[in-house]
Chain A
Amino acid sequence: MGMRLWGWGYREGAAVRRHVFTLLMGAFAALAALVRPAAAHPHVFVAAKAEVIFDGSGNVIGINHVWTFDESYSAFATMGFPKGTDGKFDAAKLAELAKVNTESLSDFGYFTEAKAGGRKVEFAPPQNYRLEHNNNALTLFLTLPLKRPVPGRTLSLEVSDPTYFVAFSFDEAADAVVMARAPEGCKATIRRPKPEDLSSYSKLSDQIFSSLSGKEEVSSAFANRAVIACP
């Protein structure tokens, strides 16, 4: 841009121009940060239970998931479903919903990440899926088979939605993570997400640029993890 266009003396012009530009861009960045449409809070909450299935000789062959949705999502999902004379939802409608839900899980890695001895485990498509509706809440049951059995000595199991649409948390009950046909002495330890811990190290300045760096502590506070350890 020429000097004439800007219309003030060259000597002060260069410095002033820089200031104006920086100021404007700063304002623009601040506004852009305000509108960045990230981080919607989750509207769907799942209390998860899991059963790790062993083959009887120390290998893990699959996981049985039991996911109970919050009442609000359950009301949304079953909106307009016909009810029978017993007050229960139409079974065919529930089966259809279970099918739709389960089939689209593959695009999201089944919301399940398992590592055996530090190595990622691969899953085959879910089986035996069904939905139940009790006390205003939907519960999805499904079996997630492993592509290949893996030794179950140390297995970490994470059930979560990386996009944070759905907030998964292992059920508060003691039997949230159990094992079937596991060798003697195997133990499951659960670590539930604690997003409220995050507020302790919050900094306002973080808010604008931290997404560029991606903070490890932030994601670990959302981890919903169980660790299986066998002797």
Chain B
Amino acid sequence: MSVTRRAALLALIAMTLLACPALAQNPNPFSLGGLEGLGGRPSSGFAAFILAKQAEFTRAMTAAARAMSTDPAAFWSLIGLGFAYGVFHAAGPGHGKAIIASYIIANENALKRGAGIAALAALLQGLVAIALVGVLALILQGTRQTLTASINWIESASYALIATFGFWLLWRKGRALLALMRGADDPACDHVHMPGPAEVARWSRREAAMAVLAAGLRPCTGAVLILIFTLSQSILPAGIAAVLSMSAGTALTTAGLAALAVYFKSFAVHVAAGRGRLGLWLVRGLEVLAALLVTLLGLALLMGHWASVGGS
């Protein structure tokens, strides 16, 4: 029993870690208006190293964009740096990756599909940033206030979408777990009341689209900033190219992470296969936890966002 309690405590700590930084946010005088995500000093050397590298890439990109006015070849450094930034940025913790990993763990996905979802989410992130800056700054000549207001709106929508997606997964996976609890011995039994294969395929396509939206709707800060800077230097097309390159770099890393999640899930299923009910418990339990995590993440982000927007 004590092991169970310890495990429960561990889960509680994990949830607190999840929710606390999100709730303790204050508007910084030099805030980018929620653009920067959540702050906090890195808690370990490794995290600090990743963050220091990202900061370096950010600054190097600005320098390359500025150098373009005298040296057109700097364009290629800008593109290369964008790609490297994308790879590094995606290696840090972030909600997009968590959603994709959890979604994959909650579902049985093929490798190609998992990687495809991750890549599409990365591309969407870049496109949202380009559309946002293109419309607001270039066409409407908006100020930072209109930009941050729009980003706040997109953030709210994206976090609400994550929570909704989590609830939807939780409902579906929770039902499967409940069916198991009621003593449905055969896992296939659970599917008896489910719609036919064509409809299942349509649903899973919708679910995959929802995962892409939930993970990729919020634009990346680095992308928005480089777009605004290149716009101020009258070289926006170079900024757009850099952002697309950034998306490609992000896609590379997140697709790799998605592949890991796919392998993890198939490993879990493989381990479970020879173990009868215990195995079923393991797989269903894992799926429900993954769904629960997406839900909690969405709610924590949403609450943190409201707390910070309300305060500024």
User: When the two chains form their complex, are residues A24 and B286 in contact, meaning their CB atoms are under 8 A apart?
Assistant: yes
Return the contact of B93 from the options A18, A36, A69 (Cβ within 8 A).
Answer: A36
Chain B nearest CB from A112 CB (Å) reads 12
Q: Is the CB of B28 within 8 A of A28?
A: no
Contact of B43 with A210 in the complex, beta carbons under 8 Å: yes
Q: Which of B233-291 contact A (CB under 8 A)?
A: 233, 277-278, 281-282, 285-286, 289-290
Bound-state Cα–Cα, A200 to B93, Å: 20
User: Most B CB atoms within 10 A — which of A25, A35, A104, A221?
Assistant: A35
A105 to B304: give the CA distance in the assembly, Å: 21
Complex CA–CA separation, A198 to B55 (angstroms): 15
The reply on A75 being an interface residue by CB < 8 A is: yes
Contact across chains for B29 and A108 when beta carbons are under 8 A apart = yes
Stretch at the interface among A56-64, A147-155, A184-192, A212-220: A212-220
Q: Judging by beta carbons under 8 Å apart, are B42 and A34 in contact?
A: no
Q: Which of B28, B59, B282, B293 has the most CB of A within 10 A?
A: B28
| Chain A-chain B contacts (Cβ-Cβ < 8 Å), number | 265
Contact of A28 (CB < 8 Å), options: B26, B35, B232, B293: B293
A173 at the interface (CB under 8 A from B): no
With A24-B289, A32-B14, A202-B49 as contacts: A164 and B41 at CB distance below 8 Å: yes
A165-B31, A199-B46, A199-B48 known; A40+B36 contact, CB < 8 A: yes
Closest to B304 in A: A37
**Which one of A41-49, A113-121, A174-182 is at the interface?**
A41-49
**B113 on interface, CB distance cutoff 8 Å:** no
Q: How far is the CB of B64 from chain A (nearest CB, A)?
A: 12
Interface centre among A43, A204, A214, A222 (most CB of B within 10 A): A43
* Number of B positions contacting A (CB below 8 A): 85
Interface contact A32-B17, CB-CB below 8 Å: yes
The interface residues of chain A lying within 8 Å CB-to-CB of B304 are 37
Contacts of A202 in B (CB 8 A): 44-46, 48-49
Q: Which of A38, A71, A165, A218 contacts B36 (CB 8 A)?
A: A165
Which residues in chain A, 1-32, are within 8 Å of chain B measured between CB atoms? 5-8, 16, 18, 20-29, 31-32
Contact assessment for A29 and B10 in the assembled complex, using a CB-CB cutoff below 8 Å: yes
Q: Select the residue from B277, B278, B300 with max chain A CB neighbours within 10 A.
A: B278
Q: A32-B17, A40-B38, A81-B143 are in contact. Are A218 and B29 (CB under 8 A)?
A: no
Given A72-B225, A199-B48, A32 and B15 contact (CB-CB distance below 8 Å): yes
A55 to B45 alpha-carbon distance, docked (Å): 42
**A207 on interface, CB distance cutoff 8 Å:** yes
Within 8 A of B (CB), among A81-103: 81, 100-102
List 8 interface pairs A-B (beta carbons < 8 Å), by A numbering.
A72-B225, A77-B144, A78-B232, A79-B147, A104-B28, A108-B29, A211-B17, A219-B41
Beyond contacts A24-B282, A32-B15, A81-B143: 20 other A-B pairs, Cβ-Cβ < 8 A, are: A20-B278, A20-B281, A20-B285, A32-B14, A35-B18, A37-B300, A42-B36, A72-B228, A75-B225, A78-B232, A79-B143, A79-B147, A80-B142, A198-B48, A203-B44, A203-B45, A203-B46, A206-B45, A207-B46, A218-B43
Which A residues are within 8 Å of any B CB, using their own CB? 5-8, 16, 18, 20-29, 31-46, 69-73, 75-81, 100-102, 104-105, 107-108, 136, 161-167, 195-196, 198-204, 206-207, 210-212, 214-215, 218-219, 221-222
